[in-house]
């Protein structure tokens, strides 16, 4: 991991240059803590958008299921008619595309 690499590099530099290892490791530990805190903060700031993606992707699926239960004779044609199936396929692709675009937009490399 990047944290282990940082510790190993600090130890190797200390071995070549000499000096006390304690302050170096203390600084590395602080850097690692700060990085973890930053990642947690970024995750908290993007959580609303990530949950919005789930809701926005799930709502059309839930609505389709509910309408099919409430109006099976009318809404059921989407599942039996070839044109209805095509509409459902396009809607599913659009829904999945939107979900993955939102997920990609909220994914930050830190």
Contacts of 91 by beta carbon, 8 Å cutoff, 6+ apart: 60
Domain extents in the chain: 2-106
Residues of the chain with pLDDT under 50: none
Dist CA 14 CA 109 (whole Å)? 30
How far is C-alpha 22 from the geometric centre of its chain's CA atoms? 37
Indicate the SS3 state at residue 1. coil
pLDDT given for residue 48 in this prediction:
85
| pLDDT score recorded for residue 74 | 84
Q: Whole-structure pTM over 0.85, yes or no?
A: no
Say if CB 75 and CB 91 are below 8 A apart: no
> Which pLDDT score is estimated for 110?
64
Q: DSSP labels for 67-109? A: HHHH-HHHHTHHHHSHHHHHHHHHHHHHHHHHHHHHHHHH---
């Amino acid at each position: 991991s990047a944290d282990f690499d940082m510790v190993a590099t600090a130890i190797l530099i200390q071995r070549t240059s000499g000096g006390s290892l304690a302050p170096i490791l203390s600084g590395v530990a602080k850097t690692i803590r700060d990085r973890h805190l930053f990642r947690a903060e970024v995750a908290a700031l993007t959580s609303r958008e990530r949950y919005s993606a789930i809701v926005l992707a799930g709502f059309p699926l839930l609505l389709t299921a509910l309408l099919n239960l409430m109006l099976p004779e009318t809404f059921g044609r989407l599942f039996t008619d070839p044109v209805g199936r095509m509409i459902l396929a396009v809607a599913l692709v659009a829904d999945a595309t939107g979900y993955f675009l939102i997920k990609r937009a909220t994914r930050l490399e830190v």
